Amino acid sequence: MRIVLQRSKEASVTVDGQIVGAIDKGLVLLVGVTHEDTAEAARFLADKVVNLRIFEDEDGKMNHSLLDVGGSILSISQFTLYGDCRKGRRPNFMDAARPDHATEIYELFNEELRKHVNVETGIFGAMMDVQLVNDGPVTLILDK
């Protein structure tokens, strides 16, 4: 799995002109799944995401987790995170998982997150418009 994590002040995802998910303070996750990803990887990364200390304390240091600040998550599936652009001018998506496997791992990942925090999502496989106010900006990449 590969996740691009962005700390946000607010975010939303729109499909066909309708907002399908929105959060206030929290994290926006762009989530990619590859062929070898397992339930174990999804559980590991969900735990990592909710416990990462990337929110500032009263001294301005990154000492608080999403759990500490009571934030939410906007989780967006994004197979393009596994686009390989090393050759040619068109990305190769051979490393992205097929939709049936990707859906299973992505949904499990979100279920694990929901054990701890509010999670909003887009629609798997849909064309989505994502809006966010990046807080910091703080952007990290997580791989498993």
Mean pLDDT in consecutive groups of 10 residues from the start of the chain, 144 residues: 98 97 98 97 98 96 97 97 96 96 98 98 95 96 94
Residue 105 has what pLDDT? Answer: 98
Is the CB of residue 126 less than 8 Å from the CB of residue 28? no
Cα–Cα distances in Å, from 82 out to 21, 77, 78, 129?
Answer: 24, 12, 9, 19
- Amino acid code (one letter) for 98: R
Instruction: List residues with catalytic annotation.
Output: 78-80
Residue 63 has what pLDDT? Answer: 97
Residue 102 has what pLDDT? Answer: 97
Rounded CA separation 130/111 (Å) = 21
- Model confidence, pTM: 0.95
Residue 14 has what pLDDT? Answer: 98
Dihedral, CA atoms, 35, 39, 44, 45, nearest 10 degrees? 50
Residue 100 has what pLDDT? Answer: 96
Residue 91 has what pLDDT? Answer: 96
Is the CB of residue 5 less than 8 Å from the CB of residue 142? yes
Residue 104 has what pLDDT? Answer: 97
Residue 49 has what pLDDT? Answer: 98
Spell out a b/e string for 29-64, using b for 16 or more CB atoms within 10 Å of the CB, else e: bbbbbbeebeeebbbbbbeebbebebbbeeeeeeeb
